[in-house]
């Protein structure tokens, strides 16, 4: 039996927790709820500092049927999203809690859940994946954060029957192609021009869905920046007009980023400028900060962009009950090792290391292990008899 509706913040009615049968034919009394639980519903997670109170976003539904499955998927997606919002960067690198921005994006549901659901509404669609962050003299072939996640998503989409095209600058083509091959994935790679022109309009017209991961965007003055506030104009393609055109056409657009300087942070522009180091100022003449103005359908703020991409794969795996869509710990280790040979640099140090954004490779493998476990356990049913 389902308890009567209770009031959620804002006055909306929800469904209360399930009542256990006491054996007398009438429901057993529920434990006393705290004032906060009465307001927000169960279960309730209280986060410290300036973090908002965040209740579990799963539906309160009876334990059977499709509703129960969707509820379980939301719980899994919320937990994976929380996992990849653990900020673990060294001092000297921006260490803002991207989880605060994530919470703003997740007010109507876990972000990875929303992305997966909207992608699955368009079976067989043409998906474009944009990545690449080369820096002349520092990371001439790009960094490891971005291409690994892009290749993983490309494989997952392709396995689900989507048409996939990858987009990056000329500097990133080799690394992206080789990482794809390592995963058993091949798709056309289009070289992005570094000037805005006809290619921009052609790409926007050709695609049904665009997913940007670790792809820099422009601030309010039209300037691209590194996360440390350095001007990157002329080094990378301008993807913003592609996304703007697709948004205007009502197409699905997704941004995955970890610094505020990537495509999509226009969704939380004011909050990001307040929270992020170099949000309002930068190291170049524009002096307007690194936060991008470009908006997307779904922004997925995360601690490391690759991790966010892996969670998108995992959310699709749960939704379709296909765990093979996930990146495995062994694949993550192999990709990070291959990145060293391919000169895809650790973005935290600019060096060819077994690391990602300054975080050890072992930690990244561990994160992938946790994501995979959440998927496997969500898809598993166990009957405990004791």
Residue 62 maps to a domain: no
Could you say which DSSP state residue 4 is in?
P
- Does 30 share its domain with 167? no
Does residue 80 sit in the same domain as residue 34? Answer: no
Q: Are residues 196 and 295 in the same domain?
A: yes
Share of the chain residues as helix, strand and coil, in percent rounded to the nearest 5:
40, 15, 45
Encode 128-156: b = buried (16+ Cβ within 10 Å), e = exposed: bbbbbbbbeeebebbbbbbbbbbbbbbbb
The packing angle between helices 240-248 and 198-206, to 10°, is 50
- What CATH code is carried by the domain that includes residue 330? 3.90.1640.20
Residue 27 sits in the same domain as residue 122: no
Question: Is residue 203 domain-shared with residue 254, that is, in the same domain?
Answer: yes
Task: Please state the φ and ψ torsions of residue 325, each to the nearest 5 degrees.
Answer: -75, -20
pLDDT tens digit at each of 386 positions of the chain? 333 332 223 333 333 333 333 344 444 444 454 443 344 343 333 333 333 333 343 343 334 456 767 889 999 999 999 999 998 877 766 666 788 999 999 999 999 999 999 999 999 999 999 999 888 888 999 999 999 999 999 999 999 999 999 999 999 999 999 999 999 999 999 999 999 999 999 999 999 999 999 999 999 999 999 888 898 888 889 999 999 999 999 999 999 999 999 999 999 999 999 999 899 999 999 999 999 999 999 999 999 999 999 999 999 999 999 999 999 999 999 999 999 999 999 998 899 999 999 999 999 999 999 999 999 999 998 888 89
3-class secondary-structure state, position 246: helix
Number of domains into which the chain is organized: 2
Do the domain assignments include residue 58? Answer: no
Using alpha carbons, select from 103, 143, 151, 16 the residue that is nearest to residue 299. Answer: 103
Query: Are 317 and 194 members of one domain?
Result: yes
Domain assignment present for 143: yes
Domain that holds residue 11: 1-38
Residues 106 and 177 placed together within one structural domain of the fold: yes
Q: Does 252 share its domain with 334?
A: yes
Clarify whether residues 97 and 179 are in a common domain: yes
pTM to 2 decimal places: 0.83
* Alpha-carbon gap, residue 278 to 296, rounded angstroms: 22
* Residue 383 included in any domain: no
Is the same domain home to 23 and 156? no
């Amino acid at each position: 039996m389902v308890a009567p509706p209770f009031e959620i913040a804002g006055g909306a009615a929800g469904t209360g927790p399930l009542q256990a049968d006491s054996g007398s034919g009438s429901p057993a009394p529920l434990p006393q709820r705290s004032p906060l639980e009465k307001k927000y519903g169960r279960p309730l997670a209280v986060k410290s500092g300036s973090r908002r109170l965040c209740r579990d976003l799963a539906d309160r539904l009876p334990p059977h049927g499709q509703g129960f499955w969707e509820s379980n998927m939301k719980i899994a997606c919320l937990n994976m999203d929380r996992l990849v919002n653990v900020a673990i960067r060294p001092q000297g690198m921006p260490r803002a809690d991207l989880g605060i921005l994530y919470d703003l994006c997740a007010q109507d549901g876990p972000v990875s859940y929303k992305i997966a659901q909207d992608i699955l509404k368009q079976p067989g669609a043409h998906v474009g994946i944009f990545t690449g962050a080369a820096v002349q003299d520092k990371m001439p072939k790009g960094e490891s954060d971005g291409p690994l996640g892009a290749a993983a998503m490309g494989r997952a989409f392709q396995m689900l029957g989507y048409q996939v095209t990858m987009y990056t600058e000329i500097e990133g083509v080799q690394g992206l192609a080789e990482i794809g091959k390592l995963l058993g994935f091949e798709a056309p790679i289009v070289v992005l021009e570094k000037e805005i022109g006809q290619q921009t309009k052609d790409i926007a017209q050709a695609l049904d869905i665009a997913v940007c991961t670790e792809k820099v965007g422009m601030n309010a003055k039209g300037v691209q920046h590194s996360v440390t506030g350095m001007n990157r104009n002329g080094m990378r393609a301008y993807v913003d007009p592609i996304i703007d055109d697709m948004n205007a056409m009502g197409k699905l657009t997704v941004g995955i980023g970890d610094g505020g300087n990537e495509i999509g942070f226009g969704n939380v522009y004011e909050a990001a400028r307040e929270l992020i180091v170099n949000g309002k100022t930068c190291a170049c003449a524009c002096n307007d900060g690194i936060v991008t103005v470009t908006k997307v359908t779904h922004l997925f703020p995360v601690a490391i962009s690759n991790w966010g991409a892996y969670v998108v794969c995992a959310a699709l795996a749960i939704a379709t009950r296909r765990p093979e869509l996930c990146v495995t710990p062994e694949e993550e280790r192999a990709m990070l090792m291959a990145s060293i040979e391919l000169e895809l640099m650790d973005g935290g140090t600019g060096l060819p290391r077994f690391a990602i954004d300054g975080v050890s490779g072992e930690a990244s493998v561990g994160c992938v292990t946790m994501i995979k476990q959440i998927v496997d356990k969500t898809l598993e049913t166990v009957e405990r008899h004791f």
